[in-house]
Amino acid sequence: MERLNENWITENHIDFEYKKYLLLAYLQHVSERFTETKLYPALGELVQHYRNLVSLRDQKKNLFDSFPEKLTQADLNQFKLVYEKLSQDDNLMLEIESIIEFSIPQFQHYLSEGKKIYDLIESKINIFPVGIMPIHYDAGYLFLKSGKGRETRVYEYQLTIFEGSEERYRAISLQYVTSYEKSLGNTYENIKHELLLFNRNLPNPATYAIETELILPIEETLLPLAKRSLVKFISITNGGMTH
């Protein structure tokens, strides 16, 4: 099962065994993707499903806590009053609660596995600027090279800043341009110079190279990690601000 719908718990037949089957089938697919070192979109989906589950669990608790109570017992010797909720869970809510309580640890486990793979790959990624860097670095080129081959994939990147209620968020988009064969006679600096001749819209573009000796799936792993690594690198090297 490749995908798990966002509202998988409440859609169709609400039954613990049925939902458990759906979940385990989906997580088996996630496990297979991780074995192939294909992190995305599975890792992002896991994060969203986990957040939804925790939110649903907390909302249910808040809803239940908001119901009024009635006094059922008074122990005057111990000065204790015993209350019970006027609204008790029906069978449907109990079933949903069972599904949630079973599912959260499952997602936590696979999130942990995915993060281990992510952290390992991230530790094997080397990123550095190419040539003279301009004042503005919200647009430019990214050179991407993996394995021991010479192929260097060139992407044009664009950074965008979003203002949140409490902080600023960065989003990055990549557009594939072309590929070059890097060699002793065709360095990153030479590739950058050739790009300048063909694209006058970026007269002095910020240019970064990302290298890893690992052979990774491009779309499912290397590109998503490269995007995050580039945003992090630019943030750190430029004091956390963009021009």
Residue 223: pLDDT band with limits 50, 70, 90: very high
Q: Could you identify the residue written with the tokens 């079973």?
A: 102
- Residue 25's contacts (CB-CB under 8 Å, 6 or more residues apart) are 1
In tens, the pLDDT along 150-170 reads 899 999 999 987 665 566 677
Identify the pLDDT of residue 68. 55
Residue 192: pLDDT band with limits 50, 70, 90: very high
Identify the pLDDT of residue 91. 75
pLDDT > 70: percent of the chain: 83
In tens, the pLDDT along 29-72 reads 999 999 999 999 999 999 999 999 998 888 876 655 554 555 45
**Against a cut of 0.75, is the pTM above it?**
yes
220-241 per-residue burial string, b: 16 or more CB within 10 A, e: under 16: bbbbbbbbebbbebbeeeeeee
Identify the pLDDT of residue 39. 97
In tens, the pLDDT along 96-125 reads 889 999 999 999 999 999 999 999 999 999
For residue 40, which of 215, 224, 174 has the smallest C-alpha distance?
A: 224
Check residues 240 and 38 and name the one with the higher pLDDT.
Answer: 38
Identify the pLDDT of residue 77. 55
Check residues 19 and 7 and name the one with the higher pLDDT.
Answer: 19
Separation of alpha carbons 52 and 62, rounded Å? 15
Identify the pLDDT of residue 64. 56
* Mean pLDDT (the chain, rounded): 85
Locate the domains of the chain by residue range. Answer: 16-123, 126-237
Separation of alpha carbons 156 and 46, rounded Å? 29
pLDDT at residue 229 tops 70 = yes
HSE-up of residue 211 (Cα within 13 Å, Cβ side): 13
Identify the pLDDT of residue 242. 42
